[in-house]
Amino acid sequence: MTARRLVPALAGLALAATPALAQTSLTLYNDGRVLVRRTLPVALPKGASDQRLELGPVEPASLFPTDPEVSLARATYDGGLDEASVLRRLVGRALTVERPGPNGTVETTQVTLLGVDPARFRLADGSVVFGVPGRIRYPADAVPAQQAVQASFFAVSARPSLRLGWFTDGAQWSASYQVMLGAKETRVSGSAVVTSSTLAADDAELQLLAGAVNRAAPRPVPMAGRAPMMNMAAEAKMDVAAEERAGEFHLYTVPGKATLRPGATTTLALFEPVSAAYEKRLVVRSTMPYWGFVPQVTDEQEVPVEVTYSIKRALKTAFGDLPIPAGVARIYASDRDGRAQLVGEASVGHVAAGEDLNLYAGNAFDLTAKRVQTAYTTKRDSLPGQGIRTVATLSYKVTLKNATDSAATVDVREERGGEWSVVSSSVPAEKLSSSVARFKVAVPAKGEATLTYRLRVVW
């Protein structure tokens, strides 16, 4: 008989299967870690005691008592629920195996498990076979309902319950923002999107920590397919998460209790919608190499005109005083009938209070740019201690066209590391930093504008 593949059983978190009296508090991190704090209905006597606790998946080294009068002396974590782990526990034991019999019947026989990797069984006649000789009926004591911890505790005094904390995986969260563009202001709403892959919890206190908290041994978090989102915010008066600082990060406490289910996604309001002024920026970026040799380019190049919305967030304003956790911002504009249309989607990093929120929306359709190198000369020189270097004089022309009914201002940027400068230009150059120069070019409605400039570049 061919060897039967030992398929691991699904090991989902079983927070929901704990006793009803257990109280659970969860903190979810952006990277998929989950800090579980639970009060278990386990009475601890004064002094030392041993307890078996079915906690579900646990990062064993992270288990700690949250009661200052209780210490953890020793803990053994049994996390093997898969078939291979169960078989290893049963080496040397007699097992009942079912096999098909004549006329659709099922026959049972006794075998002894001699070892695994590969699986070896001794039959009733004394012979040995490799591979599972049928379907094993596993003893109930060998297959735990969920992962368990056998722990020894020491309590300074008798305690009516056991308060523990530990880390696990199985859920994560990110922020989602809806940005509705108006004529001069935008209305921004923010939500926390909680996605559970294996985490299940009933009536748990839920907190969300925003920030890049270091992880000593990062592990990938498999995420299940997302279920349709459910908006938990009330319409009359929104229940939003309460924000506070925790160390160098920001912590959001979700009002009420939360129920999480594997594969489900829940959306929770982070703050009430706020209005803020914004500025649309149109940018044409450099195509010149940032370092080293600059080639001669003979063909005209079409370059995109990037569209970025910069939302103003000065301190002591409704939006400016809010920290912005990392996530995704979706930008909407209304059509002529007032329907919201998606006009951009941008990734957002963590943004501190008082910092503007810059959202790259995509490339403009009706604003185009073409760039051509019009002159290219080089010469060699040398400086004491620097050896021979190349000094290049490069001239460019950028043609901007505007097919819209409104005039536009486009930022044409040159970006280069090392020694370089703008020698001359048809539009004044503005030095933004040691590596970036900007030309602000006005482009008329239904018209075009041309920018010419010359650079001195050394490599």
Q: Tens digits of per-residue pLDDT, 93-139? A: 999 999 888 888 888 889 999 998 888 999 989 999 998 888 898 88
Going by pLDDT thresholds of 50, 70 and 90, the confidence category of residue 2 is very low
Predicted confidence (pLDDT) at residue 328 exceeds the cutoff of 70: yes
Residue-wise pLDDT tens digits, 191-204: 999 999 988 898 99
Contact of 310 with 355, CB cutoff 8 Å: no
> Residue 30 contacts by C-beta under 8 Å, 6 or more apart in sequence?
172, 173, 174, 209, 210, 211, 212, 325, 326
pLDDT at 231: 36
Predicted confidence (pLDDT) at residue 19 exceeds the cutoff of 60: no
Contact of 332 with 179, CB cutoff 8 Å: yes
pLDDT at 223: 40
51 phi/psi in degrees, rounded to 5: -135, 140
pLDDT at 206: 95
> Residue 441 contacts by C-beta under 8 Å, 6 or more apart in sequence?
398, 400, 409, 410, 411, 412, 427, 449, 451
Predicted confidence (pLDDT) at residue 207 exceeds the cutoff of 50: yes
Mean pLDDT rounded to a whole number for the chain:
87
